[in-house]
Amino acid sequence: MKQIWITKAGAPEVLEIREADDPVPGPDEVAIDVHAAGVNFADVLARMGMYPDAPPIPCVVGYEVAGTIAESGPETDDGSSSRDHPLPAGTRVLALTRFGGYASRVCVPVNQVFAIPDDMRFAEAASLPVNYFTAALAVERFGNLVPGERILIHNAGGGVGIAAIQLSRAIGAKIYGSASAWKHDQLKLLGVDRLVDYRTEDWVEAITASTGGEGVHVIIDPIGGRNLSLDLKVLAPLGRLIAFGLSEPVRNGRRSLLRTLRSVMAMPRPGFLTLLNRNWSIAGLNLGHLWSEIDRLRDVGDAILAGWTRGDLRPVIAAEIPFEEAGEAHRMLEERRNLGKVILTT
Ligand SMILES: NC(=O)c1ccc[n+]([C@@H]2O[C@H](COP(=O)([O-])OP(=O)(O)OC[C@H]3O[C@@H](n4cnc5c(N)ncnc54)[C@H](OP(=O)(O)O)[C@@H]3O)[C@@H](O)[C@H]2O)c1
């Protein structure tokens, strides 16, 4: 099989394709022949050596794949999930992978694998796990968004942002989004009612004005740092703020320790009295720290696949890039050139 390695911390050029022996599935695991692997901002940070959750460099990252089942490992006797989810060889699937997804074959526990419908392309399937699980947990579970409410989706043109737009639209909410200006026209077509460019305009003023001073009920924010303080200025009573990232300190594909520290220091620290008096709820979300809960999260995956079948959820794919050009895939994210998901193809 081939794998894309981060050979050392640095620019996209440090990504290198290497050959390796095919992995053998262990108990309750399946081997998947990968056709498409999702690229995430976390992978870019890992490549820079700035992602504490990633394995030590040199390493193979990648949180999600789609492909076909090649073989299954032995089933264990203790109520094995493989009996609950039989996946014969040839089944088309998507899977969450805890790293190692940038590979033409992966082995993963069967409870991280979902069969996909025939009309779903592999590139579409590989776009679902990270972006749609994160968006569903943020918008539905923590955000508890209901029809008629207003939601502000930061980074609306990213993979998570577009997933959140589609979920919010299906709920019947009014959608506000922040993104680079060149993405606004397409995001309007996807259903965003009002867009702001958080880097060039006073978006707090714009959101305040366009909500008649009332603010929004749910905010999902992967930017972090000072942006979270601004969020609180537009959070309505009974509002829910969900923080799920820290992209603020990354500039032109670089993240310095000093900027990161500044960004962390700039995060607001509202006390319980403030929350109580403002009727606010604040949540943090990190999908990468939920591996132990995967059995509890299978319903999220099932709901996402049901959303696909209904036609509510359709990943927007910015680019499908061959493994051999993985550096370009990372560059697209760093240079803010993607609208939607970037996929690597084997
Ligand atoms: N906590 C979790 O479980 C979790 C899960 C998934 C993703 N995330 C986080 O959510 C964010 C969005 O992920 P995604 O996969 O949707 O994003 P993506 O598709 O990789 O989006 C990249 C986009 O992020 C925006 N961006 C914001 N700050 C940036 C910066 N400093 N440098 C470069 N681009 C920046 C840019 O769009 P604009 O210029 O239009 O803003 C860029 O086009 C990331 O920060 C990621 O780490 C967290």
Query: Which amino acid is located at 280 in the chain?
Result: W
Q: Ligand 1 mean position to 222 CA, how many Å? A: 7
At 248 the pLDDT is 86
CATH 3.90.180.10 residue window(s) in the chain: 2-128+315-345
Stretch 189-209: mean pLDDT, rounded?
96
User: Residue 243, exposed/middle/buried by CB under 10 A (0-12, 13-18, 19+)?
Assistant: buried
Residue with tokens 């502000």: 152
Burial string for 284-297 (b: 16+ CB within 10 Å, else e) reads ebebeebeeebeeb
250 lines ligand 1 (CB under 6 A): yes
Name the strand (E) or helix (H) holding 172.
Answer: none
42 lines ligand 1 (CB under 6 A): yes
pLDDT band at 316 (very low <50, low <70, confident <90, very high): very high
At 82 the pLDDT is 46
- Beta pairing, strands 105-109 & 15-19: unpaired
| Atom 29 of ligand 1, nearest CA residue | 247
Atom of ligand 1 minimally distant from the CA of 335: 33
Tell how far CA 322 is from the center of its chain. 21
Q: Ligand 1 mean position to 181 CA, how many Å? A: 15
For a substitution probing ligand 1, which of 39, 134, 152, 336 has the most ligand atoms within 8 Å of its CB?
Answer: 336
What's the predicted TM-score (pTM) here?
0.94
Q: What are phi and psi of 283, to 5 degrees?
A: -130, 155
**pLDDT tens digits, residue range 216-266?**
999 999 999 999 999 999 999 999 999 999 888 877 767 678 888 999 999
Q: Which two structure tokens, joined as six digits, stand for 228?
A: 């979270």
CATH of span 2-128+315-345: 3.90.180.10
Atom of ligand 1 minimally distant from the CA of 255: 31
Please name the CATH architecture into which domain 131-288 falls.
3-Layer(aba) Sandwich (3.40)
pLDDT band at 77 (very low <50, low <70, confident <90, very high): low
CATH 3.40.50.720 residue window(s) in the chain: 131-288
Q: Is the pLDDT of residue 309 over 50?
A: yes
